[in-house]
Amino acid sequence: MLSPDVAAEITTKICLGVKSNERFLIVTDTETSEIGKYLLDAGLRIGAEAMLIVMKPRTRHGEEPPEPVAEALTRVDVFVAPTKFSLSHTQARKHATEKGVRGATMPGITMDMFLTTLSADYEKIRNFNHHLKKMLEGGKTIRVTTDLGTDLTLSIEGRTVMSDDGLIHEKGSFGNLPAGEVFVAPVEGSANGVLVIDASVAGIGILEHPVEVFVENGFAVKIEGGIQAEKLQNMLSSVGMKEAFSIAELGFGTNPNASVIGNVLEDEKAFGTVHIAFGDNSTIGGVTKAGIHVDAILTKPTVSVDGELILKNGTWTWTP
């Protein structure tokens, strides 16, 4: 296990490449401010113009931060956002990225996760992600199945495949920390079939029983599976938009150090898992704006791209 100072140094120096002449912003909230202070100290040790904003926690993943925070994100060189709920899929984060600010979000980060998952081999993850990205690029139809009953098809034709490898050094680059995923926004309206979520759901945690989601023409039209299924239904319904039920993302976990623990920030990075998200994908190459983004993790998936098998029962069929 790392010390807080070492974890903060890995985040700032290795992952974000913060330099002494840069304006470095840490956006946190009252529930994650302890981690924010370690990151602030690390930035100050580098000699950066480091700043810390502590805000009231958001109420859901994808909810916009206050306007002054959104403005501040666009006025710096690099940012990091350890917060209770995700700022990844917000217009504020997107606008900052479009202005050339590089940065990372750390939604749901805990001190334990901060000290255990940031020691991954990021060059190894980058190499693996590069090969997986190449296998997906140019693909049209993806099929995801599991022994529990998942059988979902969707199109990624014309969509940009993205890699989150933990090395965020280029102007306008963005990722999650801890890192380790390759993801894409499916074509709206293309997803059809059944999704059986067996591991965890953002905002709910580890599932006691699988949640079954019926998907038609890109939308979740029925969610079954007891109390936790009702929680997912209510979470998506809370924004009052049909778009919240849109199939927004298909992602693959590529971090060998990550495990399914009930915290989606780590769960979705677990090696050999697949995650499907509902809601907003306008920040990752799609066109759906929903003000919410909820990831759901499946274990032991089998995945094919245009009929070619790339993942079988959670084991990759290839080596980079």
pTM as predicted: 0.88
Residue 1 confidence (pLDDT) above 90: no
User: Which residues make Cβ contacts (< 8 Å) with residue 320, sequence separation at least 6?
Assistant: 127, 128, 130, 131, 132
At residue 119, the pLDDT reads: 85
Percentage of the chain lying above the pLDDT 90 cut: 93
At residue 88, the pLDDT reads: 93
Mean pLDDT of all residues in 130-152: 97
Pick the CATH number of 4-116 from 3.40.50.2000, 3.50.50.60, 3.30.70.870, 3.40.1830.10: 3.40.1830.10
Distance CA 40, CA 33 (A): 10
pLDDT category, 58, cuts 50, 70, 90? very high
- Strands, sheet with 49-55, edge to edge from the N-terminal-most edge strand: 49-55, 23-29, 78-81, 102-105, 174-176
Domain regions of the chain by residue span = 4-116, 122-316
Per-residue tokens: 196: 């059986």
Residue 320 confidence (pLDDT) above 80: no
Contact by Cβ (8 Å): 10, 18: no
Mean pLDDT of all residues in 78-86: 96
Contact by Cβ (8 Å): 291, 64: yes
**In whole numbers, what is the pLDDT of the chain averaged over residues?**
96
Percentage of the chain lying above the pLDDT 70 cut: 100
Mean pLDDT of all residues in 249-266: 94
Whole-Å CA distances, 308 to 139, 302, 317: 10, 11, 10
At residue 318, the pLDDT reads: 84
Residue 117 confidence (pLDDT) above 90: no
pLDDT per position as a tens digit, 59-72: 998 999 999 999 99
